[in-house]
Amino acid sequence: MNSLLSYPDRGHWGDSKWRGNCSGYVIKDLVEHFQPKLFVDVCEGSGTSRDVCTELGIDYVGLDLHKGQDFTKDFVRGFLPRPADVCFSHPPYGAMIRYNEVGHWQDPDLQKSDLSECNSADEFLEFSQTMLLNQRLATREGGHYATLIGDMRKAGSFHSFQADYIGMMPRNELVAVAIKTQHNCVSDRRQYRGNFVPIMHEYLIIWKRSAKTMLQVSIDKAAELQTREAWTWRNLLRMALIAKGGKASLQELYGLIERMPQASTRREANNHWRAKIRQTLQKHFSRVDQGVYALAA
Ligand SMILES: C[S@@+](CC[C@H](N)C(=O)[O-])C[C@H]1O[C@@H](n2cnc3c(N)ncnc32)[C@H](O)[C@@H]1O
């Protein structure tokens, strides 16, 4: 296994008619590479991983909403005889495939928990993090958890969920990101005009569970967010100073930041934005005159 995966034929595992089914070769590669004794799939779908594991003689647990297990509400570890060596997921990306529309759900409560029923990319991402944390907790320390996720283009907007997925989980647990070419998908048969770039791949993201507790994971994530917020302020000011030739007064900077379209969210999110600007200037830039700042030398 390496970081480029391409399987023109999906293999004989699972059901090729199940919308969004994946190639069994992804599972076969994961099993052959990581040699798990217990493989778990939290979105089993048609049972592709079940069939691969049965064939390879690996212990297997498959869960899915259509079998009554909901990773947004149920503790995955509770369904397992022991922690997983590899815990895999292949969620439906937002509303790319709506299982409701293909007559999947009789029970309206199950339909509500279906990730393909999310109303927005943010809602999908929030539940995706529940899924990934649930997978992580179901995996033994030193074992691997992985997800297969693609990009979504719907109603004119494009989301590359893999970037969010990587950002949601502990940085030091990420061990690989593989690109998987998509073959024989519905979009292959469409004709595209103009400068449209069709999506022809998915990502297989693999993490290795460390000893970190959930509390440590949360504290690290909160610290990363704070660091990124500080970078954003610093970079807005850096761009404003660059636009002014490297030097500007406080009043000029307030005016510029207010007019910068990309600054508006930050400004609204922080009522004390002038104080934040002064604080960032004092800490990270050079004061060259009274109320005048320059890019640090
Ligand atoms: C893309 S399919 C997986 C296909 C599978 N890899 C295969 O080859 O057949 C995604 C699956 O996630 C399931 N699913 C959606 N939301 C879920 C949830 N909250 N909990 C558990 N499974 C869910 C759907 O029922 C669907 O079967």
Q: How many residues does the chain have?
A: 297
Please choose from 22, 104, 109, 114 the residue to mutate so as to test ligand 1's pocket, defined by most ligand atoms within 8 A of CB: 114
149 lines ligand 1 (CB under 6 A): no
- 122 and 169 in a single domain? The answer is yes
Same domain, 22 and 148: yes
Cβ proximity of 70 and 23 under 8 Å: no
70 close to ligand 1 (CB < 6 Angstrom): yes
Name the 3-class secondary structure at 103. coil
14 lines ligand 1 (CB under 6 A): yes
> What residues have CB less than 8 Å from 214, skipping those under 6 apart?
133, 137
Domain ends where: 163, 194, 212?
A: 212
Same domain, 174 and 240: no
pTM of the predicted protein model: 0.88
Whether residue 277 contacts residue 253, with contact meaning beta carbons closer than 8 Å, is answered with: yes
Q: Are residues 196 and 51 in the same domain?
A: yes
pLDDT at residue 297 in the model: 67
The tokens of 192 are what? 């595209």
Alpha helix stretches (DSSP H) within the chain: 24-34, 48-56, 108-113, 121-137, 161-168, 214-243, 250-259, 264-269, 273-284
Query: In the structure encoding, which two tokens stand for residue 130, read together?
Result: 């529940």
156, 187, 212 - which closes a domain: 212
Tell me if 99 CB under 6 Å of ligand 1: yes
CATH classification of the domain holding 242: 1.10.10
What was the pLDDT predicted at 127? 93
Residues 200 and 257 in one domain: no
Measured in angstroms, how far is the CA atom of residue 107 from the centroid of ligand 1? 16
| pLDDT of amino acid 94 | 58
Q: Which one of 152, 183, 212 terminates a domain? A: 212
112 shares a domain with 196: yes
Q: Are residues 204 and 83 in the same domain?
A: yes
Residues 45 and 95 in one domain: yes
Q: Do 148 and 14 fall into the same domain?
A: yes
Nearest to 90 by CA among 118, 71, 111: 71
Quick check: CB of 110 below 6 Å from ligand 1?
A: no
Residues 154 and 241 in one domain: no
Please indicate whether residue 66, judged by its CB atom, sits closer than 6 Å to ligand 1: yes
* pLDDT tens per residue across all 297 residues of the chain: 999 999 988 899 999 888 888 999 999 999 999 999 999 999 999 999 999 999 999 999 999 998 999 999 999 999 999 999 999 999 987 555 666 555 565 666 776 778 877 888 888 999 999 999 999 999 999 999 999 999 988 878 889 999 999 999 999 999 999 999 988 665 555 666 678 888 899 999 999 999 999 999 999 999 999 999 999 999 999 999 999 999 999 999 998 888 766 555 555 566 688 899 999 999 999 999 999 999 976
Q: Which atom of ligand 1 is nearest to the CA of 48?
A: 8
169/223 Cα distance (integer angstroms): 13
**Cα 49 to middle of ligand 1, angstroms:** 12
204 phi, psi to nearest 5 deg: -110, 110
**Residue 249 pLDDT:** 96
What integer pLDDT is reported at residue 268 of this predicted model? Answer: 59
- Is residue 44 located within the same domain as residue 112? yes
For residue 33, the enclosing domain spans 4-212
Concatenating the DSSP letter of every residue in 242-279 gives HHTTTEEEHHHHHHHHHH-GGGHHHHHH-TTHHHHHHH
Give the residue whose CA is nearest to atom 16 of ligand 1. Answer: 114
> How many domains in the chain?
2
- Looking at the fold, whether 264 and 181 belong to one and the same domain comes out as no
What is the domain-level CATH number for residue 44?
3.40.50.150
Q: Which atom of ligand 1 is nearest to the CA of 127?
A: 19
Q: What is the dihedral of CA 5, 185, 13, 164, to 10 degrees?
A: 60
